[in-house]
Structure 1
C-alpha cells in the first residue's frame, strides 16, 4: 500500500542528482569476540541476511506514476532482495585504515536506485589488525543523523554475552503498552478528546500568529550579521563551487575528556570546542592552499529539535532539525579568541531559536537554506555570496561500550552529504568516551582532505595550551 512522502523527504529526493547523492552513511568498527572462529566474519554476514522479518522502513522505495497524480509516494518493494542490500566485501592488502576509508569514499559516491529500498550495508573484512568494519548508507529521505544513530543503538547491547540480536534492518517488536501508556498516547483518554482537540487548534493558531515575528527577527539578525538561521555575509571559498559525484572520506576520534577539560577551563561547551577545532583546522588548511579569506567562515550547524516537542527523528526514521549559522572566527590567529568568538556566536544563535516553537524553527531554517538551493539552480555559483561555507554537525551516541552479538563496537564514524556550493561536510558523533569526526568531501573540489585530521589534532593541542590544561 502506497503512503504519501512528507515535504522534507520529498525535497531530499528531488534535490538528488549524479553529482549530489543524498544519502547519509556510517562506518562502524567491531572487535571480534574472544575465541572467534576464522570464518567469524562470514558467520556475521550470514546472520545479517538471516532475518525473520525486515522492518517496514527498509522495505519502501519512492514511486510516482499517473495513478499517484505524478506525486511521490512510498511503495513497498514486492520483490525485495536482501542480498542486494547486504553485501560482503574485503580490503586489498595491506589492509590499513587508509584502504578502508578509500573504500568507504568510493561506496559513498554512488546513488541509491529508486526502484529499490534506499539503503545498503557492506560488511568489510581484511583489516590487518583483525577488526571487522561495516559501512552503511541510507537515503536522507528516510533518516537524518539522529535517527540513524538511534537505529544503530536500538540493536546494540551493553551485555557482551547477549546473542540473537537483529541487524538494524530486522523488525523489532514494539514494547507492549500498559494501560497508562495507552492513555498517554490517546491524550489522556477519550473523555479528554475535546480538550486535546482544543489545545491542538490553539497551538496551530499560535504557530501562525508567531510566524511573522519569527521571520522579522531572523531577517533583522541576518542583516546585522548576527547569528541566526540566515547568513548574508559568508565569504567565498574553494568549498563554494559545483561538485562532482566522487567522494573522499577521512575519519578519526579524540577523547571527549580532553574536549571537556578545555570547555571547563574556558566556560564553553563541548560543541563549542568541536567547532573551534574545525575553525583552527580550516584556518591552517586554507592557509596552506593560499585560499584563506579575510572574513570569517560561516558554518551551518544543524540542531535537533527537542525530543519532547517532536518525535520525527526516531528509530523509525524521519527528520527533525533546525539550523544555526555560526561565525567561525577563522580571521583570528589566537585559538582562545577563536573559541570565545564561536561560543558567543553559538549562544546568540541558540537564544534566537529559544523563543521559537519547533515549527517556527523549521520554517526559519528552511528560509536560511533557500540561497543554498537557488544559487546552483540559477547557476550563480561564484557570482553571489554563498549562504554559508561548510556544514558541521554533532550527533550524540551511546556513552558506554556496546556490543552486537558479542562483537565489541570500537568506534562509529559518520559520513554525510556534500552539496553543490558546499563541497565539505564535517559530522561528529560521540561514543564510549570519544568524539569521532567524519569528513566527507568532493574528491576533486577538496584536495588533500586527510590533512584536516592532522590539523584537527594540532588544534586540540593548541586549545589545551591556550586553556592551560595541556
Structure 2
C-alpha cells in the first residue's frame, strides 16, 4: 500500500540535513515493578522487541521516484529489521541523570535514514537509583508532538497491576482503532498525481478569504502586535547556523505552583510557562553579555477553536496555528513580563479565531517561511530572524501511569533546533508536574543546562512578585 505524504510532512523530509535532523523525541523514566530483579532492563527491552506484528505506521518509509511523479510517498518496508529499531543500552558509572542526558543528547543528534522506517527506541539501564529509561525518536513527517503524546498514552495504564501491555509499534496497540476502508490518500502509484490535484483544487475554495486574512496579519505585524508573522525580532546568539551536535537538559516543576501564579494574575498556565522562559532567557543572555535591547520573540504553537471551514473535507473545530509572542526580555520586573505576555497571547488567539483552519495554516506558514528560507538561501545571519526560539506546551496524562507495572515517574520531550533557531523549549504536563525539555545546538548555545537554574529562579521571582 502506498500513501501520499502530506505537504507538511514532505517539507520536514526535504528541509533536513546532517546539521538539522527533523525528528522529535521523548525520554521517560520508569521505576521497576515491585519484585523485579536485576535483569528487569533486559526483560523490558525483550518485551518491546519481541512483537508478532508491527503496526503499519511503524513500517512506513519515504520514497520518491518517476513512478510517483516526483512526489514523496510512504511505502512499506519489505525488509523490516526490528533489531535496528529497538536498542538496549547501559550508562557508564556513576549512572547519574547527567550521564542519561548526555546519552540522550548524542542519540538525538543522529539523523534517521530514509531507507528504513524513521523511528528508534532505546531501553537504557544503569541509573544508580535503579530506574530504567526509555528514549524514543520519531521523524516529524510521521507524527507531530500531539500525536507522539497520544502514542505514548495508548500504551500506558493507570492500573499498576495490568500486564501484557504492548509497546506503541505493536499492531495490537491500535487494532480496531483504524478505519478498515482505504482513504483517498491511500491507493496505487498511478493515483498520486490525481490526489495532489484534488487537494490543490480543494484549497482554492477558501482563496477568497485569504487576502483579508493576509491584510490582518501584515497590519498587526507592522504595528509590532502579536500575530502569526513577526517583523521585529532582534538578532541574538540563537539565530545562527547550527551543527548536528545536540545538548539536552530537562527538569520538572509542580503545576500547582504555576497555577497559583496564574490565578493571582488572571493568566493561564501557558502564559506562566512563557514568562518563566522569557525570564530565564533574559538571565542567560545577561550572563553572556548578549541581551539585545528589543524583546526576544518566540514562535508558540497554539490550539484553538477556529471558525467553521468551507472545505467539505474539513471538519472544523480544533485547529493548530502559531503566534509570534514577545517574551518581555526587555522588562526587568517578572510581573510586568507576565502581564505583557498574557495580553499578547489573548490578542494573538483572538486574531486567529476569526480565521478558518486553512487560513490559520496559511498565515502560520507565512510566519515560519523566513526561518526555513534563510538557511536554504544561505542568508542566516544576514537577514533579521522571524523569531528567536520556539516554545511549545503539550498536554499529557493527568494521573500516574504504568507500563506493565513499571511506574512512569518522569516524561520529558526532545525537539528540533533548526538553522537560525538554535534553541527549542518544549513542555509536557504529567501527573501534577510540567516537564521542561530544552534542546539546543551544543556549539551555538553554550552551557545550555544553566537555563534550568534560571527557570527555577524565575518561577520563584514570579511567585514573590504576585504573592502566589
Q: Same fold (TM over 0.5)?
A: yes
Tell me the equivalent position of 2:255: 256
Secondary structure of 1:147's match? helix
- Aligned-pair CA distance for 1:283: 0.4
- Aligned-pair CA distance for 1:375: 1.2
Tell me the equivalent position of 1:325: 324
Residue correspondence of structure 1 range 179-258 to structure 2 within 5 A: 207-258=206-257
Q: Is contact 1:61-1:116 (8 Å) kept?
A: yes
Rounded to whole Å, the distance in 1 between the matches of 2:319 and 2:265 is 31
Is 1:134 the counterpart of 2:134 in the alignment?
A: yes
- Aligned-pair CA distance for 1:52: 2.0
Rounded to whole Å, the distance in 2 between the matches of 1:360 and 1:411 is 37
Q: Give the 4+ runs in structure 1 shifted more than 4 A.
A: 173-177, 203-206, 305-310
Rounded to whole Å, the distance in 1 between the matches of 2:118 and 2:306 is 26
Residue correspondence of structure 1 range 30-429 to structure 2 within 5 A: 30-171=30-171, 172-175=173-176, 207-304=206-303, 321-429=320-428
Q: Is contact 2:241-2:420 (8 Å) kept?
A: yes
Tell me the equivalent position of 1:438: 437
- Aligned-pair CA distance for 1:231: 0.1
- Aligned-pair CA distance for 1:70: 2.5
Q: Is contact 1:144-1:320 (8 Å) kept?
A: no
Q: Say if 1:393 and 1:59 are closer, same or farther in 2 by CA, change over 3 A.
A: same
Rounded to whole Å, the distance in 2 between the matches of 1:356 and 1:285 is 37
Rounded to whole Å, the distance in 2 between the matches of 1:302 and 1:109 is 23
Rounded to whole Å, the distance in 2 between the matches of 1:176 and 1:101 is 35
Rounded to whole Å, the distance in 2 between the matches of 1:273 and 1:229 is 20
Q: Say if 1:54 and 1:30 are closer, same or farther in 2 by CA, change over 3 A.
A: same
Residue deviations 1:155-175 (CA, integer Å, cap 9, x gap): 100000001111011112444
Secondary structure of 1:116's match? coil
- Aligned-pair CA distance for 1:64: 1.3
With structure 2 as the length reference, what TM-score do the two structures score? Answer: 0.91
Secondary structure of 1:67's match? helix
- Aligned-pair CA distance for 1:373: 1.3
- Aligned-pair CA distance for 1:308: 11
- Aligned-pair CA distance for 1:321: 3.4
Q: Say if 1:106 and 1:307 are closer, same or farther in 2 by CA, change over 3 A.
A: farther
Rounded to whole Å, the distance in 1 between the matches of 2:369 and 2:440 is 22
Rounded to whole Å, the distance in 2 between the matches of 1:266 and 1:206 is 42
- Aligned-pair CA distance for 1:454: 0.2
Rounded to whole Å, the distance in 2 between the matches of 1:270 and 1:173 is 32
Moved more, 69-78 or 222-231: 69-78
With structure 1 as the length reference, what TM-score do the two structures score? Answer: 0.90
Rounded to whole Å, the distance in 1 between the matches of 2:382 and 2:141 is 30
Rounded to whole Å, the distance in 2 between the matches of 1:125 and 1:108 is 17
Secondary structure of 1:296's match? coil
Residue deviations 1:137-195 (CA, integer Å, cap 9, x gap): 00000011000000000110000000111101111244479xxx99xx9xxxxxxxxxx
Rounded to whole Å, the distance in 1 between the matches of 2:307 and 2:79 is 38
Tell me the equivalent position of 2:464: 465
Secondary structure of 2:445's match? coil
Q: Is contact 1:59-1:76 (8 Å) kept?
A: yes
Rounded to whole Å, the distance in 2 between the matches of 1:84 and 1:415 is 21
What runs of 5+ residues in structure 2 fail to find an aligned partner?
Answer: 184-201, 310-317
Q: Say if 1:320 and 1:131 are closer, same or farther in 2 by CA, change over 3 A.
A: farther
- Aligned-pair CA distance for 1:71: 1.9
Residue deviations 1:394-444 (CA, integer Å, cap 9, x gap): 000000000000000111100000000000000000000000000000000
Residue deviations 1:218-275 (CA, integer Å, cap 9, x gap): 1111111110100000000000010000000000000000000000011100000000
Q: Say if 1:263 and 1:224 are closer, same or farther in 2 by CA, change over 3 A.
A: same
Is 1:17 the counterpart of 2:3 in the alignment?
A: no
Rounded to whole Å, the distance in 2 between the matches of 1:250 and 1:92 is 18
Tell me the equivalent position of 1:27: 27
Residue deviations 1:123-147 (CA, integer Å, cap 9, x gap): 0000000000000000000011000
Q: Is contact 1:305-1:358 (8 Å) kept?
A: no
